Structure 1
Amino acid sequence: MINSAPPSPPRPSVKDAKEASITAWALAARTGDPDAVDRFVRALHRDVRHYVTFLGADPQSADDLTQDTFLRALGSLHRFEGRSSARTWLLAIARRAVVDSIRHDSCRPRLAATDDWESAAERAQPRDLPGFDDGIALADLLATLPDDRRAAFVLTQMLGLPYAEAADVSECPVGTVRSRVARARTSLIEWLNDAECPGPVAAAA
């Protein structure tokens, strides 16, 4: 009787391999390896900034919150054991940084009204970058979503986190994240359809 060879284990996807590398850099950074720290920060800096921006931060505070997130993370690396991906762990820290910032700001008197963050982002964005109009339009649409739906949509659809990891970041059940994303998609599709299909023009008298 010929025994068939056991099936080969599936190869990790490029995305999984990247996440494993980032997590390995975070674990190596715990020992103070400067190269690992640099790789870890570079790999996730853009995602953290996008996340805090889409949670409602204006361009200046987004930079501050991104820096605060990494300072918190680097100060807590000794507690990171790799049970979740480094990306999930870091975005959870970013979320807490945003929440703390909102609480802090709510306790301070506002000296003057400021423009909404979408307008500030539009003014700060270089005009010659490809996709400028699309990016601003998306920011405008996302800003109309409730905070919880916007966060779930950004985590899963823009940053590419699996639903389970997005649930860890948001500290809620996976089913709740799926529901929020589905509702966000429905709202965005409806708004896009409304924008592309304007109402009928009134007949001239």
Structure 2
Amino acid sequence: MITSVLPAPRATTRAVTDASATAWALAARNGDPHAAEHFVRALHGDVLRYVAHLSGDPQTAQDLTQETFARAFDSLSRFEGRASARTWLLSIARRAVADSFRRAAARPKLADTHDWQAVLERAQPRGLPGFDDGVALLDLLEALPEERREAFVLTRIVGLSYEDAARFIGCPIGTVRSRVGRARATLERLLLEADALPR
């Protein structure tokens, strides 16, 4: 028998990962500590990327990811596996980021300089591999309408299937496909316009 050495298609791999993560979440709900560890390992990267995108602050992304998993384990007893564990966890992550925005807005901001934003920007690390590309990508994503940006990030960056993204957002699959297609077309147009500008 000949076995293929090619990797499985991405959608199949994602479906297997989703099924495994959901099974681990259900096992962790029943008290299996090894399942809890596998659950965190399987979805940690997705949650980290998602909260980094939503918060726009890579420095707080680790804290928000930990908060997301802490909230998930607090409410794990209510998880029934009707949606994938990834979809359930990303909805918790969205609430954690929203709560962090509310907390930040309620805190007074003190600075001993007139232009504290410029000081903060100068303190950020520069010249790291991929830093400029990351900033350019964030700028391009910010140009998209919010609904299209969310659909694009969930399916193309986080890696959700269209079906899971539709459940997560709360709209039909066709709407997600349309939003992603339009987002992609807008990004391509913006990239072509940027390349056409004189250096």
Distance 1:15 1:98, change over 3 A: same
The residue aligned with 1:99 is 98
* Conserved 8 A contact 1:73-1:93: yes
Distance 1:82 1:126, change over 3 A: farther
Could you tell me the TM-score, scaled by structure 2's length?
A: 0.79
Q: Which runs of 4+ in 1 moved over 6 A?
A: none
The residue aligned with 1:77 is 76
**Given residue 158 of structure 2, which amino acid in structure 1 is its aligned partner?**
L
The residue aligned with 2:159 is 160
Post-superposition CA distance 1:52-106 (Å, at most 9, x none)? 1111331222111111110110111111111111111101111111112222222
Distance 1:114 1:160, change over 3 A: same
* Conserved 8 A contact 2:14-2:159: no
Question: 1:14 & 1:153 partners in 2: Cα distance?
Answer: 19
* Conserved 8 A contact 1:152-1:181: yes
Q: CA deviation at 1:19?
A: 1.5
* Conserved 8 A contact 2:17-2:42: no
The residue aligned with 2:54 is 55
The residue aligned with 1:9 is none
Question: 2:154 & 2:68 partners in 1: Cα distance?
Answer: 16
Greater mean alpha carbon deviation, residues 178-187 or residues 188-197: 178-187
* Conserved 8 A contact 2:72-2:92: yes
* Conserved 8 A contact 1:48-1:91: yes
Distance 1:59 1:84, change over 3 A: same
Question: 1:125 & 1:77 partners in 2: Cα distance?
Answer: 40
Instruction: Identify the structure with the greater helix proportion.
Output: 2
CA RMSD of aligned residues (A): 2.8
The residue aligned with 2:7 is none
Could you tell me the TM-score, scaled by structure 1's length?
A: 0.76
**Aligned residue pair count:** 184
The alignment partner of 1:106 has SS state of helix
Greater mean alpha carbon deviation, residues 71-80 or residues 98-107: 98-107
**Given residue 92 of structure 1, which amino acid in structure 2 is its aligned partner?**
S
Distance 1:88 1:74, change over 3 A: same
Question: 1:124 & 1:132 partners in 2: Cα distance?
Answer: 9
Bigger radius of gyration among the two: 1
State the identity %.
56
Question: 2:195 & 2:146 partners in 1: Cα distance?
Answer: 25
**Given residue 105 of structure 2, which amino acid in structure 1 is its aligned partner?**
S
**Given residue 34 of structure 1, which amino acid in structure 2 is its aligned partner?**
P
Structure 2, unaligned stretches of length 5 or more?
1-10
Q: CA deviation at 1:175?
A: 4.4
**Given residue 97 of structure 1, which amino acid in structure 2 is its aligned partner?**
A
The residue aligned with 1:25 is 24
Question: 2:127 & 2:38 partners in 1: Cα distance?
Answer: 27
